[in-house]
Chains A and B, each alone.
Chain A
């Protein structure tokens, strides 16, 4: 059975990465040959404006169940040894990791394809929301990157 871990985490997700490498050592001894990994990072500048922070919120019960389904589905589809999705909530600063998605597989083809599929599904299927706080105001990030000015900044 593949190891499948999918979690919303308050604050940073950096610490999740060390656990993934521990699993890689174990999986490698039984035939795994590849780790594919994606890390999303808070940008320090958008549209020429300095970003102070991102604030992530989620409809947590549904978000958690969807993250689990996405990871389980990828593990089955690509025959993975392990699938991981860790997504941050709360306030994150430029340079902070927002999401870590990883797949351990026999081949690089499977690992990379699984990671690619998981990040696209996380972006489109999981009720997670992003507020971008910038030098020129606050913006809700909607869908694939549209910015909508917040109606009541600071509330």
Chain B
């Protein structure tokens, strides 16, 4: 599956293709993409899967697109 980071996560993650095994969760993939646990990050990620907000325990499937955002900073 494709993982794409924005803003600070553009630096930490960039854009990667990660192999997803049966039963992988958002948290599992984030650990692989970031190289650390999401809870260890100073900036807490907002995660979207296929354009919808997702939680760390949500299950993933091959072909999903995972987007990693920081808190938004428009305006």
A binds B: yes
- Chain A interface (Cβ < 8 Å from any Cβ of B): 40, 56-59, 61-63, 87, 98-99, 119, 122-131, 140-144, 146, 148, 150-152
- B residues near A87, Cβ cutoff 8 Å: 74-75
Interface string of B49-75 (1 = CB under 8 A from A): 001000000000000000101111111
Taking a contact as CB atoms closer than 8 A, the residue among B12, B67, B75 that contacts A123 in the complex is B75
CB <8 Å contact, A61 and B74: no
Most buried by A among B11, B43, B67, B75: B75
Taking a contact as CB atoms closer than 8 A, the residue among B6, B11, B67, B72 that contacts A143 in the complex is B72
- A residues near B21, Cβ cutoff 8 Å: none
Expressed in whole angstroms, the minimum distance between the Cβ of B27 and any Cβ of chain A is: 21
In the bound assembly, the distance between CA atoms of A128 and B51 in angstroms comes to 14
Interface string of B1-31 (1 = CB under 8 A from A): 0000011100110000000000000000000
- B residues near A119, Cβ cutoff 8 Å: 75
Expressed in whole angstroms, the minimum distance between the Cβ of B52 and any Cβ of chain A is: 9
CB <8 Å contact, B7 and A142: yes
Expressed in whole angstroms, the minimum distance between the Cβ of B53 and any Cβ of chain A is: 10
CB <8 Å contact, B75 and A40: yes
Interface string of B35-46 (1 = CB under 8 A from A): 000000011000
CB <8 Å contact, A141 and B6: no
CB <8 Å contact, B67 and A59: yes
CB <8 Å contact, B71 and A128: no
In the bound assembly, the distance between CA atoms of A33 and B11 in angstroms comes to 48
6 intermolecular pairs with C-beta atoms under 8 Å apart: A62-B51, A87-B74, A128-B72, A128-B75, A140-B8, A140-B11
Q: Provided the pairs A129-B6, A151-B11 are in contact, do residues A143 and B74 lie with their beta carbons within 8 angstroms?
A: no
